[in-house]
Structure 1
Amino acid sequence: MAVSRAPKRPPAPPAIPEDRVQEVIRRGGTVAADLTLPTAREADAQVDELKNVQLRLYESTLGEIDRLRQAASRGRRPKSRHAWLVDAIEEKLERERRKQR
């Protein structure tokens, strides 16, 4: 097995005077977020944030929803209650939007 020499280290960079370091620190700088275009910031502000909502329903209503989910599944795994309720809300919103036109 051949033995090779250790690689030579590059010379140390010259020391920077402390007063120059402090000058750069006092001058300050910018961060990447400050350099983004205004349109990108506006787009970020318009992101639709997900919110949690508590919903109280009667047991009989949940039973009816479960029966409808099961019937619509046609032998496959039924859609979750959450997905079913979200779909129902979206359908209702679309009907109301059409009424307003």
Structure 2
Amino acid sequence: MPVTRAPRRPARPAETSAVDEAQVQEVIRRGGSVAADLHPSALPEEEELDALKNVQLRLYESQIQEIDVIRKKQARGRRPLSRHAWLLQAIEEKLDRERQT
């Protein structure tokens, strides 16, 4: 199979690369925005009521192994839930029980 070269782009004329310094400084002075500023949740007037928070959880190795055994039993031949999903499910079940009392 023959291989061909990629087509060459035409060279830019030298006069287009010369930019007025005053225009460059004006763009810099105007500034810009970052993606976080454009995201609706980043706006102070629209604060999130239920924001995600990171939590560090320390478990004994034996507890992790026990969780893994239970996860694999519940999977019944399918792919087991991740530990994270399993722990979230357990937390929700506990919260539901506590709400009912």
TM-score by length of 2: 0.54
1:46 to partner: Cα distance: 4.8
Matched ranges for 1:4-83 at <5 A: 41=45, 44-83=46-85
Query: What's the % identity of the aligned pairs?
Result: 63
Q: Distance in 2 between matches of 1:90 and 1:57?
A: 18
- 1:87 is paired with a residue of what secondary structure? helix
Gaps of 5+ in 1: 1-40
Q: Distance in 2 between matches of 1:98 and 1:45?
A: 30
Gaps of 5+ in 2: 1-44
> Max radius of gyration: which structure?
1
Amino acid at match of 2:89: D
What number of residue pairs does the alignment pair up?
57
The structure, 1 or 2, with the larger RCO (C-alpha pairs under 8 Å, 6+ apart) is 1
Task: Let me know the Cα RMSD of the aligned residues.
Answer: 1.1
TM-score by length of 1: 0.54
